[in-house]
Amino acid sequence: MPDLRLQGLTKRFGSVLAVSDLSFTVGPGVVTGFLGPNGAGKTTTLRMLLGLVSPDSGTALLNGVPYRDLPNQTRAVGAVLEASGFHPGRSARKHLLAIATASGIDRTRVDEVLAMVGLSEVANARVGGYSMGMRQRLELARAVLGDPEILILDEPANGLDPQGIAWIRQFLRSFASLGRVVLVSSHLLAEAAQTVDEVVILARGHLVGKGRLSEMLDRQAATVRIRTPEHEQARLLAALRDAGFAPGCVNMNDATTVTVQGASPEAVAPVITANGILVYEMTSGGGSLEGLFFEMTEGAGLGDMVPGYSPGAVPGYVRGGER
């Protein structure tokens, strides 16, 4: 059975700790999502798995061995990477032919994978004239050239149109259903939620969550948010605590919102009516991957890692200075 094992993987770029003591395993038969905010260390981790970046410490094993010790890398592992390139003057077919030659793969497979990703018609055209989505498809064709057992993808949906994204979802699912390993990083949480079975969540280079997505969402769904007028907030907090909700789980989110963790709307609503508290809005934690993601990676943006960088510290557009 193919698998991936990361053990204590650590990588520092100068003063930036990109990946810190990261350990997890990825098994076959499911699509595993690798999620985290910008700069979390996803790309660095995937490149360490593939021997492109050397870790400061720790090991990454694919089918039990480091990437460089696999008998035939192209046949064992396929990778779609962001900053991977093409010679603009070379055609897609020739690009793949060079790799097939190096890996001892029959050239008929080149046309097979080009057809699989829908590039047959432009296979002999210079890659320099390809659109971003076409390049991404070519990158995917390259990844599956050796009919690998393990697929590692960094933001594969980048540059794809909605049909392309739906297509890749199907593609990853059918690949995993053959009992193979799929590890896919993504920014598109809504998309990931539809595609992945397991998630590994990374923030600031640290593992912050891992498990079956459905189970994690169930747990996360148990958060209720209540919006009230400001003057009702104190009463609401007291009423909830009196009703037996653990004080640690009942919190003031901001001046007008109270959150109750580990509760359902069905349990919270009677307390509100019994006390005659005015409420504008009540939502339950949604069970969305987005909610889960924000909860787990809260305050873990680049700002903590790179001094002076704080994405979205003030949400919204900032106008240029006054003249």
Partner 1 sequence: MSRLVRAELVKLRTVWSTWVILIIAVAFTLPGGLLVGFAPHNNGIRHLIFPTEGTRAWFDLVLSTMDVVLDLALILGILMVTGEYRHKTVTPTFLYEPRRGRVAAAKLFAAAGAAVAVAVAGGVAGLLLGFGLVASGHGNIAEMLGAFGHVFPGVLFATVLFGVYGLGLGAIMKNQVAALVTGLGASAVIEPLVASTVPAVGRWLPGEAAQALESVTAHAIKGGHGGGFLTGITGLKLVTWWEGALALLIYGLVFVIAGSLTTLRSDVT
Ligand X SMILES: Nc1ncnc2c1ncn2[C@@H]1O[C@H](COP(=O)(O)OP(=O)(O)OP(=O)(O)O)[C@@H](O)[C@H]1O
Spatial strand order of the sheet with 281-284 comes to 250-254, 257-261, 223-227, 281-284
Task: Give the separation between CA 173 and CA 195, rounded to whole angstroms.
Answer: 7
Q: For residues 62 and 296, which CB has a smaller minimum distance to partner 1 in the complex?
A: 62
Task: Give the separation between CA 107 and CA 100, rounded to whole angstroms.
Answer: 7
Partner from partner 1, Mg ion, ligand X, none contacting 51, C-beta within 5 to 8 A by type: partner 1
Neighbours of 225 (CB within 10 A): 18
Q: For residues 39 and 285, which CB has a smaller minimum distance to Mg ion in the complex?
A: 39
Binders of partner 1 among residues 80 to 109 (CB under 8 A) are 81, 83-91, 94-95, 97-99, 101-104
Binders of ligand X among residues 182 to 221 (CB under 6 A) are 187
**Minimum CB–partner distance for residue 45 and ligand X (Å):** 7
Q: How far is CA 96 from the centre of its chain?
A: 28
Q: For residues 57 and 101, which CB has a smaller minimum distance to ligand X in the complex?
A: 57
**Minimum CB–partner distance for residue 187 and Mg ion (Å):** 9
**Minimum CB–partner distance for residue 158 and ligand X (Å):** 10
Q: For residues 86 and 294, which CB has a smaller minimum distance to partner 1 in the complex?
A: 86
> What's the CA dihedral at 39, 41, 43, 46 to 10 degrees?
-170
Interface region with ligand X, contact rule CB under 6 A, candidates 37-45, 110-118, 142-150, 157-165: 37-45
Residues 141, 113 contacting (CB under 8 angstroms): yes
Q: For residues 42 and 142, which CB has a smaller minimum distance to ligand X in the complex?
A: 42
Binding mask 30-59 for partner 1 (x = CB under 8 A): -------------xx--x--xxxxx-----
- Residues 6 or more apart whose CB falls under 8 angstroms from that of 79 comprise 46, 50, 143, 151, 152, 153, 154
Q: For residues 36 and 164, which CB has a smaller minimum distance to ligand X in the complex?
A: 36
Residue from 2, 39, 78, 285 that binds ligand X (CB under 6 A)? 39
Neighbours of 113 (CB within 10 A): 24
Q: How far is CA 53 from the centre of its chain?
A: 20
43 binds Mg ion (CB under 5 A): yes
Specify the DSSP element, H or E, that contains 184. strand 181-186
The sign of the CA dihedral 306, 10, 149, 105 is positive
Residues 298, 210 contacting (CB under 8 angstroms): no
Footprint of ligand X on this chain (CB under 6 A)? 13, 16, 18, 36, 38-44, 187, 305-306
Interface residue list for partner 1 (CB under 8 A): 43-44, 47, 50-54, 67-68, 73-74, 79, 81, 83-91, 94-95, 97-99, 101-104, 142
